[in-house]
Amino acid sequence: MPIIARLQPMNFGSHFRAYALRGGEAAEPIDPFLGVDHAWISAPTFPPHPHAGFSAVSYLFLDSETGVDNRDSLGNHNLIAPGGLHWTAAGRGVMHEEFPAETGKTVHMVQIFVNLARERQSDAPRTLSLAPEDVPVVQLPGIKIRVPLGRFGEIRSPLMPPTEVSLLDISLDAGAELSVPILAGQSAFVMPIYGKLAVNGEYYELDRFTLPAFPAQATAHSISLAATQGSVKAVVFSGRPLHQPVYWQGPMALASPEALAAAIAAYQHGDFGTLDSPIAPVDHT
């Protein structure tokens, strides 16, 4: 039986609306994920901010009206196009900012926070990107599966992130059913995006603020998805739990109080770099 995880509505002004999922001290029951925000953003909302100890991952749905202008203190400045993914592994610390490429148009995305193993939290920050056209796609009768992270069967994303996780963007036409394999030792959870989704025979909708999470099992298993009451979209997340403590302060999450204190001191000392220069439009061509 799944564990029921709960979503919380989260709004900032009139330009940011989200359903937020957060884990507990060790991100149970969604470890190694610390959280996911299913968001709609139509204007810059968050100023430049620090990250340390985990990865911030942005995946845009294909129905997003515009892309995301992404920049960081490593000198990266790029467009995340609808259907694309960008992974920022903060490691020992980085400054980061994202905002809609075109104000007034709505970005539809999931912002994913993935924990780093304790021994990788002091690594130098780095980034990975995947363009929409490079995301592998599995087509089955009435079913479309995009694989920006991880794998579905023999189909694998080309990205090799520092924490091995899967993200499957699944669209089901009315009447379609799909069995999603989950590897032994991996936890998983299913986030409805739209429509009334049957997961192992139980129904979930985004506006009901609940989703099913499946703790890691010793043997491989599968999750059944079905669109018995109209077409649906869902994202299935999975990964091997890290089973390590999480100490939060704002946008930093480390595996010990001492490491968190050191990250805060490094940020205050300016070791994360800066994003103080004026924003120049990214080349969208």
Could you tell me if 132 and 125 are in contact, meaning their C-beta atoms sit under 8 angstroms apart?
A: no
Strand order through the sheet with 165-172:
3-6, 210-214, 187-194, 232-239, 165-172, 143-149, 137-140
Token representation of residue 73: 């203190």
For residues 232 and 225, give the distance between their C-alpha atoms in angstroms, rounded to a whole number. Answer: 10
Q: How far is 208 from 214, CA to CA, in rounded Å?
A: 18
269 is annotated as contributing to ligand binding: no
**Distance between CA atoms of residues 176 and 204, nearest Å:** 16
148 preceded by cis ω (within 30°)? no
Q: Tell me if 134 sits within 8 A of 124, measured CB to CB.
A: no
- Is 108 annotated in a binding site? The answer is no
51 is in an annotated binding site: yes
Sheet containing 77-80: which strands, arranged edge to edge? Answer: 49-51, 94-100, 68-72, 77-80
Indicate the SS3 state at residue 178: strand
Distance of CA 223 to the CA centre of its chain: 20
Contact 146, 169 (CB under 8 A): yes
Supply the Cα-derived Rg of the chain in whole angstroms.
18
Binding region: 49, 51, 96, 98
Binding region for Fe cation: 49, 51, 96, 98
